[in-house]
Structure 1
């Protein structure tokens, strides 16, 4: 398995507790993945680069400190759990329609002692509350996704930079043309030098 050193390489400001939590996170995923498949088997050896560091690219794009974040279709807790470690003063709500995945998320959250995460077995549409940001990783096409989460995003303050931050890959031109609204596309290779990130992107849809 690759190591948490790659996280420390790009986030040198981590404190001792965060370093320990990131080290433990890889072990927890390896352990749980044996029981419930939340990460593809071939990827588990590259958990830090392909999943944890990938999730943390959102932090390179947007400071989430003090914000309320909804992670829709979180699967095994990505991108929400790594971001919750990085931003202990932000509040994270992780939802997924598959119960056994949320069971894994809850177990990992408990093991890491993360007090800023709530995990629920439900669909995005049923989630209560308002959030500064909705995050996701390749859940569905953006047009459908906006429809699901539109009512969840609070934009009371026009100066607030709220909206959807999605991790996607490949050519997004057709998909993003469907939404008929402004968006920003940022190559993750801007932040990380590993070849894996050459085709990966952050898509921000402001609200």
Structure 2
């Protein structure tokens, strides 16, 4: 008797349910992330133990939700604030090979993992910096991205000074902005933030239980 197929794909197959234009190079890079993160997570904990088996859904696909709603034009510069183990910046750097990503975090050992994985998969459009976003004063970016880092008020305070005042790269569909991934009830957090973000429910993009209370906030400069 032939076993019934698994109705819930995992790994790269899960990504391909929602993104269909990956190149062979991108597919190979995404495929390597699973074993690489599993290996490094044994040495340096960058992903919770309960989440490592759901890496592609809870970390990679979650990060790529930003790509599902906005196209970064060739030559754009993106800062990932509080990247931790490389999310959302590293998956986005694979997705947008002609865009540069600068990933910052205050914990150096996490960036060691990011650097090692990026080098192993041949990712050349990604740099890291051991610092806090509020300490950067000599760089400007087209967009800032983040995932579950800090309350929106603080996050916007760090991001706004780093953003260009207007699009400098032809083809960007969005104005310079913060794009942040958050979860739960955000009403009070948004109210005290002093911003008026556009809020997108990720369950509209990915009809999976994990995304039911996950949101993308778009805060233009």
TM-score (norm 1): 0.96
Deviations 1:77-107 (A, max 9, x none): 0000000000000010000000100100100
Residue in 1 that maps onto 2:6: none
Alignment of 1:115-154 (within 5 A): 115-127=124-136, 128-154=138-164
Q: What is the aligned counterpart of 2:38 among 27, 30, 44?
A: 30
The match for 2:111 among 102, 112, 118 is 102
Write out the 4+ residue segments of structure 1 that deviate beyond 4 Å after TM superposition. Answer: 157-160
TM-score (norm 2): 0.90
Which has a greater percent of helix? Answer: 1
Cα deviation per residue 1:15-70 (whole Å; 9 max; x = unaligned)? 10100000001111111000000000000000000100000000011112322100
Tell whether 2:176 aligns with 1:188. Answer: no
Would you say 1:56 and 2:64 are equivalent positions? yes
Q: For 1:93, what is the secondary structure of its paired residue? A: strand
Which ranges in structure 2 are unaligned for 5 or more consecutive residues? 1-8
Partner of 2:120: 111
Hey, what's the Cα distance between the residues in 2 that align with 1:157 and 1:29? 35
State the structure with more CA Rg. 2
C-alpha root-mean-square deviation of aligned residues, in Å? Answer: 1.5
**Are 1:46 and 2:60 matched, yes or no?**
no
Is the alpha carbon distance of 1:95 and 1:154 closer, same or farther for their aligned partners in structure 2, counting shifts above 3 Å?
same
Gaps of at least 5 residues in structure 1 are none
**How far has the Cα of 1:4 moved from its partner?**
1.4
The residue number in structure 2 matching 1:204 is 218
On the 8 A contact 1:2/1:45 being kept in 2, the answer is no
> Which 10-residue stretch deviates more, 3-12 or 167-176?
3-12
Please say if residues 69 and 133 of structure 1, whose CA atoms lie closer than 8 Å, have aligned partners that are also in contact: yes
Describe the superposition over 1:104-132 as per-residue Cα deviations: whole angstroms up to 9, x where unpaired.
01001101111100011111122331111
Q: Does the alignment pair 1:6 with 2:14?
A: yes
